[in-house]
Amino acid sequence: MNSFETWQVWLGCIQAGILMATFAGAFYIGLKANEINDRVRILQDYVAIAVIPDNSVIKLMNVGKVNLYLWSFDMVGNTHHFDRPRLIPAGTNDSAYYYIGTPDIKQVKNDQFDFKLYLTDQFNNKWITNAAGDVTKTKITQDGKEIDAYILKVWTYDTSKENWNF
């Protein structure tokens, strides 16, 4: 083999190496782009409910990205199953709530209670939101008389996809 042929073989090997490196880099970038797209899709369809105490009721606010339907809630002394679900719309910021009653304060043990919300999303996936609350007894003056009053704190701590039935 003369020097020209040797030079051509070396250039061919270098070109093949560059092509292989380019292929490997493109393949890696494609895999990472796929991972990112999966994460974005999950974020677009996440389900989350905020529970907010408001006077003698609890507000349910959809802070996720999909419409939710409340089928039932279960708490101490206040359990309700709906024949038709109640819509809790997504993307309405601070303007759309669904209100549920508070637990029966007399049945709350150790000033703490748990409750569950049974939901479906607009894609017919079933979800359960687990929430909890604290009840603090205090005294207030009303019409010159001191009466018992209760301070209610509530929060959600878990929303998970679960297959529930009634």
Predicted local confidence at residue 29, as pLDDT:
95
- Give the number of other Cβ atoms within 10 Å of residue 33's Cβ: 10
Predicted local confidence at residue 18, as pLDDT:
95
Q: How far apart are CA 132 and CA 51, in angstroms?
A: 9
What does the DSSP 8-state code read for residue 64?
S
Buried b (16+ CB within 10 A) or exposed e, 73-82: bebbebeeee
pLDDT in tens, the chain (166 residues): 788 788 888 899 999 999 999 999 999 999 999 999 888 876 667 788 999 998 889 999 998 888 999 999 999 889 999 999 999 998 766 667 899 998 988 888 888 999 999 999 988 999 999 999 998 888 888 888 888 888 889 999 999 999 998 8
Q: Residue 141 in 3-state DSSP?
A: strand
Instruction: Please give the C-alpha separations between residue 70 and each of 4, 42, 57, 104, in angstroms, as whole numbers.
Output: 78, 21, 16, 21
What does the DSSP 8-state code read for residue 144?
T
What does the DSSP 8-state code read for residue 66?
S
Residue pointed to by tokens 């003056």: 141
Q: How far apart are CA 18 and CA 27, in angstroms?
A: 14
> Quick one: CA dihedral 29, 46, 153, 143, positive or negative?
positive
* Ramachandran quadrant class, 156 (left: phi over 0; alpha: psi -120 to 50; beta: rest): beta
The DSSP line for 84-140 is EEEEE-SS-TTS--EEEEPP-GGG-BTTEEEEEEEEEETT--EEEEEEEEEEEEEEE
